[in-house]
Amino acid sequence: MSGPEPTPAPAGGAIELARRIREREVSARATVERTLADIAQRNPDSNAFTLVTGARALAQAEAIDTALAEGRALPPLAGVPFAVKNLFDIAGEVTTAGSRVNRTLPAATGDAVLVERLTQAGAVLVGALNMDEYAYGFSTENSHDGPARNPHDRRCIAGGSSGGSAAAIADGLVPLTLGTDTNGSIRVPSSLCGVFGLKPTYGRLSRRGSFPFVTSLDHVGPFARTLEDLALCYDLMQGPDRLDPACAQQPAQPVSDSLALGIGGLRIARLGGYFEAFSGPVARQAVTLACDALAVTRQCDWPMAAAGRAAAFIITGAEGGALHLANLRQRYDEFEPLSRDRFIAGCLTPAAWYQRAQRVRAVYAREVARSFRDADIFLTAATPTTAHPIGTETIDINGQAMPARPSMGVLTQPVSCIGLPVLAAPVPVPGELPIAIQIIAAPWRERDAFRVAAALVRAGVCRAPQRPTL
């Protein structure tokens, strides 16, 4: 079911690769050429990429090599390939957002803000990545572009909606990718593919130039194979954007320097109740491994988690449906079957339901805020189970049969709907496909989440597992 084993990435990932390019151990052009060759060879198996920007990438690589030859200082990610979910604008390309409808739109006139910031940092864009249509899903089983396949088992889903973003990292095609997270779309694929992913605080990173799904819930964030790469990528993208009304107008708060601080003074608790009830055996084992490594004994509950998830469902459907109403009326058959009926249902949501859902969300946020009086970090699983085969309709969670596609977000949705920062950290469980935990911090406290993740990496509990030879 799989293609050839990926070319091993240089030890240390993006940071190490940038060092090698600066020190002329390898050229930027050779790096990009290798990346493009790997994509051409293995993407038919993974289906992570839906667009390759080869000419742009080679031109940028040539410019980096020229700058180095002339003795000019290079930015921190010079020559490092990256790719983005296909809802970020790429100058000269159509932003499809995984849809057929969008393919009739004009090409983007410029890059999305985060693409622009990473490019300014020297990173080389090599393409756009597979996703659920309009980001509405947790599996990336896209009817137009085909499913993204999990590098650890090509028969299985990569998760969604940023499935291509996680699969490309896990398959060793690129060391950095970008995705979005409305209800879990960074954390779910991070978990199922076994890579690090970050959903920052709502409003931390600019969304300008990304195709929206649910304006009041959409987040953007990075994926990486190493925690150090994730931290640096995040740091380079931070900063206010006055043209994005949702972006917080506050200075950057770098996290890379927090990785060596340890966890002294941090109060860490395990989430029980709702989160334990919807965590399967492997998910619970992953959380236990992390808690044991950190000597966590405290357990807490968020009693309104189920209500928060229900509110997020209503808000998602109503805002998503309203966004696409005109096209649903005129081009219904061009939407994929997995999403169009949910969009229609969202269009029919009574205004009173939406208003009540927003009120419930606000009350729930206040209740969770109180929980941070007793803890600084909460731990729980990112997905209820490991990846299941593509096409699966029902999954079992602790003896309860549940619909597969929406249920992969059962543990992420109650967290994202109140905008908390979450770091998804892979915890290998022997004999099992990848799974990750959520490291949940208080608003604007991403540094705390990175401190905990770094401690787990040092303890040997958190790491991105190697893709097996299948």
Question: Is 101 domain-assigned?
Answer: yes
Q: Is 216 one of the catalytic residues?
A: no
Question: Is 465 domain-assigned?
Answer: no
- 281: enclosing H helix or E strand: helix 281-294
**Distance (Å, whole) CA 302 – CA 304:** 6
Q: What is the pLDDT of residue 7?
A: 40
Q: What is the pLDDT of residue 467?
A: 74
- 361: enclosing H helix or E strand: helix 351-371
CA distances from 259 to 226, 271, 373, 438, 453 (A): 12, 24, 24, 17, 8
Question: Is 30 domain-assigned?
Answer: yes
Contact 233, 254 (CB under 8 A): no
Question: Is 178 domain-assigned?
Answer: yes
What are the residues whose beta carbons fall under 8 Å from the beta carbon of 371, sequence distance 6 or more? Answer: 300, 302, 378
Q: What is the pLDDT of residue 338?
A: 80
- 27, 46, 85, 210: the catalytic one is 85
Question: Is 1 domain-assigned?
Answer: no
Q: What is the pLDDT of residue 289?
A: 98
Residue ranges, the chain, pLDDT below 50? 1-12, 469-470
Question: Is 470 domain-assigned?
Answer: no
- 46, 139, 161, 191: the catalytic one is 161
**Tokens read off for 326:** 């005109």
Q: What is the pLDDT of residue 469?
A: 46
∠ CA 190-262-189, rounded to 5°:
5
Single-letter residue type at 266: L
**Distance (Å, whole) CA 56 – CA 180:** 23
Q: What is the pLDDT of residue 468?
A: 63
Q: What is the pLDDT of residue 466?
A: 86
Q: Indicate the SS3 state at residue 222.
A: strand
Q: Is 161 one of the catalytic residues?
A: yes
- What CATH number does residue 330 fall under? 3.90.1300.10
Q: How many domains does the chain have?
A: 1
Closest CA to 227 of 443, 448, 376, 425: 425
Expressed as residue numbers, the domain containing 180 is 13-458
- 185, 191, 256, 416: the catalytic one is 185
Question: Is 340 domain-assigned?
Answer: yes
Query: How many helices, marked H, and strands, marked E, lie in the chain?
Result: 15, 17
Question: Is 2 domain-assigned?
Answer: no
Q: What is the pLDDT of residue 257?
A: 97
Q: Is 185 one of the catalytic residues?
A: yes
Residue spans of alpha helices (H) in 198-273? 227-237
